[in-house]
Amino acid sequence: MKIAISGKGGVGKTLLAALLSKIFVESGYSVLAIDADPDANLAATLGFPNPEKITPISEMKALIEERTGVQSGQVGSFFKLNPKVDDLPEKYSVRYDGIKLMVMGRVKKGGSGCYCPENAMLQTLLAHLLVARNEVVILDMEAGIEHLGRGTAKAVDKLIVVVEPGRRSIETAYAINKLAQDIGLSNIAVVGNKLRSQSEKEFLISSLPDFEFLGFIPYDQAIVDADLANVPVVDSSQQVINEVRNIYQALLPAQVQAEQTK
């Protein structure tokens, strides 16, 4: 199963990706988590030791040059649009608590040109991870999902858009929905996060009338406090974990759900 998680910055994509990764692993699945949001830190959220020591793929200059044939930062050169990437997941993923993780890193937008070799590498790698892998793949990504591309998007079983009570996050959900249609990705669902009241929940439902809601995660100050105290946020709120367990159940294929209730 391939699950991509998107949404406006700050809505809680990374926490949902981390909790789903843990719950799938606990349920016996093999999980590959992918941090594809340069503004997030899935490793730290998952409690990986020394997350700052994980080198993102985009910063492996020698590797990118070897595979694309072009040095990072070179402008106007021709490079391989489909570099070899199939060996990278085993070589460059890190593992902790049963979860395999790959950190994609930031593609520099550049002062004077386009750094396309990194881009070609990351996109090909992302396509490989989503299309060719046989495990549960959980992709934490930014709101700009268009770099998934048509072929890759078809491999995504569910695109979860996280929203919070706020108009900007709703607007981003609609923008993501449009981009998703453009690349042929139609299995979209929404998760509401950081809810403080029934009226905030109703706001989300009425703002997104044509969307399927997978769940509603309450706001819990315990998450913020755990983060500030530098203890793992994934273990800090039982009510949040319980709700993400429900979301996990809703994600399982119908036949698995039927077997569980036998």
Q: 């902790």: which residue's tokens?
A: 96
Q: CA 68 to CA 108: how far, in whole Å?
A: 16
Binding flag, residue 76, a second copy (CB under 8 A): yes
Binding mask 160-179 for a second copy (x = CB under 8 A): -----xxxx--xx-------
Among 26, 55, 81, 257, binds a second copy (CB under 8 A): 81
Q: How far is the CB of 62 from a second copy (least distance, A)?
A: 20
Total residues at interface with a second copy (CB under 8 A): 51
User: Please, which residue, 41 or 248, has the CB nearer to a second copy?
Assistant: 41
Q: Does 142 bind a second copy (CB under 8 A)?
A: yes
For residues 130 and 1, give the distance between their C-alpha atoms in angstroms, rounded to a whole number.
Answer: 9
Point out which span in 18-26, 33-41, 59-67, 241-249 binds a second copy (CB under 8 A).
Answer: 33-41
> Does residue number 53 form part of the binding site for a second copy (CB under 8 A)?
no
Site map for a second copy, 185-224, x if CB under 8 A?
-----------x--xx--x-----------------x--x
Return the sign of the alpha-carbon dihedral for residues 235, 238, 240, 244.
positive
Quick check: 232 binds a second copy (CB under 8 A)?
no
Q: Does 236 bind a second copy (CB under 8 A)?
A: no
Stretch of 24-32, 39-47, 57-65, 242-250 lying at the interface with a second copy (CB under 8 A) = 39-47
**Which residue from 87, 86, 69 is spatially nearest to 78, judged by alpha carbons?**
69
Site string for a second copy, 93-132 (x = CB under 8 A): -------------xxxxxxxxx-x--xx--x---------
Minimum gap (Å) between residue 72 Cβ and a second copy? 13
Provide the minimum distance between the beta carbon of 124 and a second copy in the complex, in angstroms, as a whole number: 10
Residues of the shown chain interacting with a second copy in the complex, contacts defined by CB under 8 A: 8-11, 14, 38-41, 44, 76, 78, 81, 106-114, 116, 119-120, 123, 142-144, 146-150, 152, 165-168, 171-172, 183, 196, 199-200, 203, 221, 224, 227-228, 230
